[in-house]
Each structure stands twice: as structure tokens, then as C-alpha cells.
Amino acid sequence: MKNKVLIIGIDGGTWDVLNLLFDNGVMPALSDLVKSSTVGVLKSTEPPITPAAWTSFYTGLPADVHGIRGFRILQKNSKGHFEYKLVNNENIGYKSIWSFLSDRGKKICLINLPLSYPPPAVNGIVVSGFPIPSQQVCYTYPKGLKKEILKKIQGFEILTIGRHSWSGNIERFVDKMVISSRTTALLGKYLLQKDSWDLFMLYFQETDLIQHPLWFCLDPTHESFTKERFNIVSKFYNALDEQINMLLQEARNIGNTRIIFLSDHGFQKCRYCINLNTWLYRNGYLQLRKNVQAELLRIFRKGLNRIPLIKRIKNARTLRSHFKDAFVSNVFFEKVLNYKKSLGFFETNGTNIAYFHTLGNIEANSLVFQKLRDLKGLDNKPAVKNISLLEQHNNYYIYKMELYP
């Protein structure tokens, strides 16, 4: 009976990419582990996005229950208006696996896990993961551990928000990802040896950071895919495989350890996007306030009038410009929303699941939903798959809308 558990997580570890890398001999250690293990395709959460999926893994609850639906969480301020806040560990309102085990006297070690900042007090140690606001904050539990790891792990720098944004150069970006994942793995090795533990969890975010801008290098069906590009990006996966192997060897040396390797969601080419709040605005269901700062309103109106409602996504560069559009239509809108005159607004997270928050006459929503069901994508097929009531509050409802992927 093995009574220790090592869990290694990678972000966005789709079999489509892993199998291609295995077939090309890029990840021999992971490929061997897969061959000698029980494996399967897991269904991700709805929405299939990092914070929702890891929270489900920590708590055992679906996103509809734990309420973490994206990187931002909507909260009502004292005026009753909505505000977005970056999500973190304090927003997980349910008990996590590490709390259950800590309570039973098990020793825990968590490294880099999404939404583990601020670091929770566990029976063991924590080095927090996304979203860490700066290098200066305390991201470890206990507090003194930060100083120790900065001294022991050469070149270690915690992954802070936006530190590894895409710079436009494939080779340089790949090199950065190699260094980042290597220091995480070295930290893992150090902490595996340092103390006794019952549950050890470590997560690599770099797979997700690399696949977002460089998907066209990994998907042979992508129009911009070339073998040369694939080989450059493979260097990262090859280095990651060495790092995973180092951790697996360490766990095997310790012995008595069950190994779980998992991921949170898949990845695929994005064909087109729909700006749902722009759709509401153009149909008159979302109105802007008149008394907000003129400058903000001007930028916003210009954005909403300029943004194509439906946009084809061709490659990473247009995806970036899409995010700029989405930024205008989704992020700031809560500051300029006319609460009295709008029927509602969409909370979106860049996936195929969006949430409609009602503000006005609830009966009028059926008209909005009927029009949404008629909405066509660029392939001229219906864009909306399903709309269902998710939450019913005193004076407003939240509907969950699923789009065709």
C-alpha cells in the first residue's frame, strides 16, 4: 500500500499535443509513464478555464457550485453596482483537499498551484501560484520559506502577473519558458528532499503560457504550422520532460509514492469569436451611462462601434488583437453600464461558456434569448447551443449560455 501521493499538474495538457510530442520522441519520460499507467481523457469543467478547473479539483465541486468562472470574479459594491476583481485563494468559499488532509494530520506541500495566493496555512508548506501581484509580497507559508528558497534555488523568480507575456519572438519565448519551468522543478526537487510529506502537489503553468501564442507551431492542421516551428517549440517540451523525469526519479527514490499526473483543460484552434456585450449594445439591450467621465465613455463608445461583432481568428497575432477588442467590450463595461436602462450584461471568460446577468425586466429576457438563439457564426450555423437559468437572486438572475465551440 502506497501512502504518499505526488501530483504533477500541467496547464492545458491536451492529448492532441502530448501524443504528437510522444510520437516525435520529444517527451520520452512522460511517454514511458503513460505507457505504464492507467490513463484517460478527463472532461474539463464548464467553463473549461484554469481557475474554474483547478478549483474543482481542489474542492470536488463543479464551477456552477463553487462560482469561480474565470480569472476575474464579479462582486457587487456598496452602490449595488458590479465590479470585477482578480480572483485568488480568498474567493474559494469551500474546503480544499489540503485543508481536509491538514485537519487529519497529513503533511502537505503545494508548489505554484493556481489560486493558492495568498498562501493558505496548512500542515506543511506552500509556495503560491497565480495570481501573485509582485515579487515583494509574501507568497510562501510559512513566511520564512521565501527567503530560504530565494537563497537555495539559483535564479528562482516567482511567476507574477504578466511576467511572461508573449514578446513576438518564438526562440526567445521558448528559452524563457525553459528557464521558468526549470526553476520550478528545481524548487520541487529541493522541497521533495527537505521534509517528509504525505501529499506533494506541483504545477507547471508554462505549457499554457506557450500554447496560447504559439498554438500554430503545435497544431499540424493550422495554416501557419511548419515542421521548423514545431521543432523550435519542441525544445521547451523536451526540457519539461527532463524536469518531470527528475521529479519522478526523486519520488521513486523516496519510495512508497503514488504518482498522479493531470491537467485542467484542453486546447484547440479558435475559429472565430463573438463579442456578446457589443451584441447587446447594438441591439439596444445594454445602455451606457451619461455621467461617467467623458474620456472613458468616448473610448468605450468608439470601441463598441469599431469592434466587429463576430471576428475570424486566423493566427496568434489576430488573437491578440481580439483580446484587445474583448478588453474594451468586457472589462471596463461595468464602469460605464447604465443599470437602470440595461436589460443585462454578459460575464465572459474567453471560453464557450458565458453568463448573462439580468438587470431589468425579467420577462423581457426571453426576447433577448430568442434573438441570441438566432445568432449565426461565420460558418452560418447557430452560435448558441443552450441557455439555462443558473442562479436566482432576489432582484436578478444569472443565466448560463453555452456556445458551439
Output the smallest distance, CB 258 to Zn ion, in A.
Answer: 24
Instruction: By CB under 5 A, name the one of 46, 198, 241, 264 that touches Zn ion.
Output: 264
Instruction: By CB under 5 A, name the one of 45, 50, 102, 128 that touches Zn ion.
Output: 50
Output the smallest distance, CB 395 to Zn ion, in A.
Answer: 34
Contact window for Zn ion (CB under 5 A) among 49-57, 127-135, 285-293, 380-388: 49-57
Output the smallest distance, CB 207 to Zn ion, in A.
Answer: 8
Output the smallest distance, CB 336 to Zn ion, in A.
Answer: 30
Interatomic CA distance for residues 65 and 324, integer angstroms:
30
Output the smallest distance, CB 113 to Zn ion, in A.
Answer: 12
Binding of Zn ion at residue 206 (CB under 5 A)?
no
| Biggest distance spanned by C-alpha atoms of the chain | 67
Q: By the 8 A CB rule, do 149 and 156 touch?
A: yes
Count of all residues that appear for the chain in the document: 405
Contact window for Zn ion (CB under 5 A) among 208-216, 303-311, 323-331, 356-364: 208-216
Interatomic CA distance for residues 371 and 383, integer angstroms:
11
Residue 48, Cα to own-chain centre: how many angstroms?
8
Q: How many residues bind Zn ion (CB under 5 A)?
A: 5
Contact window for Zn ion (CB under 5 A) among 9-17, 73-81, 224-232, 392-400: 9-17
Contact window for Zn ion (CB under 5 A) among 39-47, 71-79, 200-208, 343-351: 200-208
Write the CA distances from 261 to 33, 148, 173, integer angstroms. 9, 28, 25
Interatomic CA distance for residues 200 and 188, integer angstroms:
9
> Burial letters for 264-301: b for 16+ Cβ neighbours within 10 Å, e otherwise?
bbbbeebeebbbbbbbbbeeebbbbbeeeeeeebeebe
**Residue whose C-alpha is closest to residue 107's, from 185, 190, 194:** 194
Output the smallest distance, CB 349 to Zn ion, in A.
Answer: 12
Nearer to Zn ion, 12 or 303 (CB): 12
Applying CB under 5 A, the residues found at the interface with Zn ion are 11-12, 50, 208, 264
